[in-house]
Structure 1
């Protein structure tokens, strides 16, 4: 079949790769001049199966109220006269129920384990290099209450097969000596030795090159002006290239990987996706004091920040701001990341040379992405990954290739439009 993949971020490129490996003719469309230039460009860098507790959890409502309108809050709802934001927020509150949280954790751990395994297979098969590190991820806590609240999610993750061990402050420092600079603040931690980190942007571009070598066609600097539907199928796309030339493109199937912009595209076709952009921030610092800089990827629970070492660069990323599709940098939030970094690692950096970035993460209320078939028989979904697009990229790409090819994916996950336990695909409404 001829498949058009909409979007050249990490999920779009992994989808294209696995679809091509399955024998399909593949074309990728993206408005940017190259792959991985939007949400995949400067994220936190973690491939973190252990980062499976969703934003929507039993403790979230009280935190959201406390953080409301606080400029440097880890999760900021900037309330707008936007029905999509209010709808998303109400669904978010429903997902905070303990039973829903546990279900969502199980889904994300299952997908994360599968995806990490597929990433390792891909790396071994292709020799991809992207500043990867396989030293695990250490999650540290500076609040006794948060450390106590982490025990139940950790138990659920372990039940699902995630290797996650609770650690004392002394053990945290032994794993990552740079934490000695903030030992007095740490009350405990958890270590996932099988987790990884790496530069998602570099990975995406390197895999895109291999896609080209494998025969995938790319149409960069191409905008989608509209789409048409005939009955229960997408009939064609109307696009414009960099020179403004309008073209109509047809394919046997279409895979939607447009991140936060997936909702608008799908709505034109009568498909309802509850995705809202959660603007995330990152700071990239040069390594100027190697002896005081971290080597192991870290997660700071209290401030919801992740720390990754990318060669001679330090990447610190996190926070979420629900403020529509605005991509302007909020300096208060950038400065909060630098301030927290200097508070934890005062000898590591003076903040000079910092490069700030922001991107729109495609968030669902549950944090569980849409992967599978939509209500239209030839429109497939691989979107809504929120903060875990890099973690889940290879697994969701491999899974969507299976589904498009009529095969049952290899993991236990609530795929959209896929009847559990059978290889057949059954159109179902996307709720």
Structure 2
């Protein structure tokens, strides 16, 4: 079967890999000049299945109000006359219940754990490298009440059999020796020893090269204009370079997926949630992190990537804006400077923003649509890198007519239609 994948971020490229592995003829179409040049370019770098948690949770509406008043807020809301934004915010608020949180958390951890295992298999089979490390993630608590608030997540980890360690301040420093130089009072930490890190951009481009070796064709610099539908099926993808035809089509365009499928009568509840990162050269090796630290107070991840430190975070609801406000950079710098003083050269840091495709329940949309030969793999929010290999594996199974290795029916768009 010939399959056209729309989008060459980490989700599109991992889907291409598994579909090619299943024996399909695959073409990947993207407006950019190469893979992973948008949301996958400079994300936080963490592969953290255990921290796969919905943003919609009990108490979040009240927390959000407090966050909006902070100098270094993890949440920024820029209201605008945008019906899609309003609809998405209302749907997210509806998911801020205990029952919805448990349901969504279980879906996310299920997929993320499966994805981590598939990444391990892929790395073993191919020898792919991407500044990877397998040294766990430490969620750092500056306040004792944050430890208490983590109880609901610990309960889910325990129920799902995910290994974890609850650490005091001294053991946090043992896990991350660079923390010995901080003046921040550390209340404790939650460590997930099986989590990993790596450069998503390097991974995606290395995997794209392997895909080409399997015969995958990449049509870069092709702007996708619309899907042509005939007799209830997609008949082709119209691009600025002409029409591309296939037997089946996979939408993996991240935040831009809803606009493409809307003319087909498909309402895909994905909205762009902007994130920021800085990439900092290491100048103090002993002061630098060895893996990923989640600064719980500011919802910022600090990750070691080779000879660099990636600092990423924040959730900004501001439509498709790609501006780079100095205040956002200041927040990222503050988190790194306060926890790992002297570790990196902040003056030489690069500053980036990306649009993360978020669903109201934080769970991606993976599966078929009501159009017979149209499928979706999108809406991974802040966890596209964490969930990429698992999502690609699942959609390859579905499109190949096989039963996925994990339960996947509740990942499809039909969960919203019901």
TM-score tier after normalising by the smaller chain length:
over 0.9
**TM-score, length basis structure 2:** 0.97
Q: CA 1:40–1:156 in structure 2 vs 1: closer, same or farther (change >3 Å)?
A: same
> Aligned partners of 1:101, 1:232: CA distance in 2, in Å?
36
Structure 2 Cα separation of the partners of residues 213 and 67 of structure 1? 48
Aligned residue number for residue 402 of structure 1: 397
- Cα displacement (A) at 1:367: 0.8
Cα–Cα, structure 1 residues 416 and 134, in superposed 2: closer, same or farther, change >3 Å? closer
How much has 1:254 moved relative to structure 2?
Answer: 0.5
Compared with structure 1, are the counterparts of its residues 163 and 178 closer, same or farther at alpha carbon in structure 2 (3 Å cutoff)? Answer: same
Correspondence 1:358 to 2:353: yes
Corresponding position of 1:142: 142
- 2:302 is aligned to 307
Alignment of 1:299-338 (within 5 A): 299-338=294-333
Secondary structure, counterpart of 1:41 in structure 2: coil
Q: Which residue of 2 aligns with 1:234?
A: 234
Contact 2:184–2:339, Cα closer than 8 Å, also in 1: no
Alignment of 1:61-140 (within 5 A): 61-68=61-68, 72-140=72-140
**Secondary structure at the residue paired with 1:225?**
strand
Q: 1:145 to 1:212 in 2, by over 3 A?
A: same
CA contact (8 A) 1:68 1:78 kept: no
Task: Check conservation: 2:309, 2:344, Cα contact below 8 A.
Answer: no
Partner of residue 244, structure 1: none
Distance 1:161 1:382 in 2: 27
CA distance in 2, matches of 1:197, 1:348: 18
**For residues 412 and 199 of structure 2, what CA distance do their matches in structure 1 show?**
32
The whole-number CA distance in structure 2 between the counterparts of 1:144 and 1:400 is: 42
Which residue in the other structure is 1:15 paired with?
15
Structure 1 counterpart of 2:250, from 236, 255, 259: 255
What does residue range 113-262 of structure 1 map to in structure 2 within 5 Å?
113-182=113-182, 184-241=184-241, 247-262=242-257
Q: Distance in 2 between matches of 1:158 and 1:41?
A: 33
Report deviation, 1:261: 0.2
Say yes or no: does 1:51 pair with 2:51.
yes
Aligned residues of 1:137 and 1:298 also touching (Cα < 8 A): yes
Deviation digits for residues 339-398 of structure 1 (CA, Å, limit 9, x no counterpart):
221122223235220110000000111110001111111111100000000000000000
Deviation of 1:53 after TM superposition, in Å, equals 1.9
Which segment drifts farther, 114-123 or 165-174? Answer: 165-174
Deviations along 1:283-304, one digit per CA (max 9) or x if unpaired, are 1110001111111211111111
- Cα separation, 1, equivalents of 2:340 and 2:125: 38
Instruction: Map 1:367-386 onto structure 2 (within 5 A).
Output: 367-386=362-381
1:348 aligns with 2:315: no
CA distance in 1, matches of 2:390, 2:83: 32
Which residue number corresponds to residue 3 of structure 2? 3
Q: Please name the residue that 1:30 is paired with.
A: 30
Counterparts of 2:219 and 2:40, CA distance in 1: 18
CA distance in 1, matches of 2:30, 2:69: 34
Q: Is the contact made by 2:301 and 2:311 (CA closer than 8 Å) also made in structure 1?
A: yes
User: CA 1:227–1:240 in structure 2 vs 1: closer, same or farther (change >3 Å)?
Assistant: same
- Report what 1:387 is aligned to: 382
Gaps of 5+ in 1: 242-246, 419-426
Q: Distance in 2 between matches of 1:69 and 1:274?
A: 28
String of CA shifts for 1:258-281, please: whole Å, max 9, x gaps: 000001111121111110000100
Shift of residue 165 of structure 1?
A: 1.9
CA contact (8 A) 1:281 1:356 kept: yes
- The SS at the match of 1:352 is helix
Shift of 1:428: 8.5
Q: What CA distance in whole angstroms lies between the structure 1 residues aligned with 2:175 and 2:10?
A: 30
Q: Distance in 1 between matches of 2:415 and 2:187?
A: 47
TM-score relative to the length of structure 1: 0.94
1:15 is displaced (CA, Å) by: 0.2
In the TM superposition, residue 50 of structure 1 has moved relative to its aligned partner by 1.5
Aligned to 1:422: none
Alpha-carbon separation, structure 2, partners of 1:335 and 1:292 = 20
Secondary structure at the aligned position of 1:50 is classed as: helix
Secondary structure in structure 2 of the residue aligned to 1:357: strand
The 8 Å contact of residues 8 and 36 in structure 1, kept in 2 or not, is answered as yes
In the alignment, the residues of structure 2 paired with residue 186 and residue 69 of structure 1 have an alpha-carbon distance, to the nearest angstrom, of 23
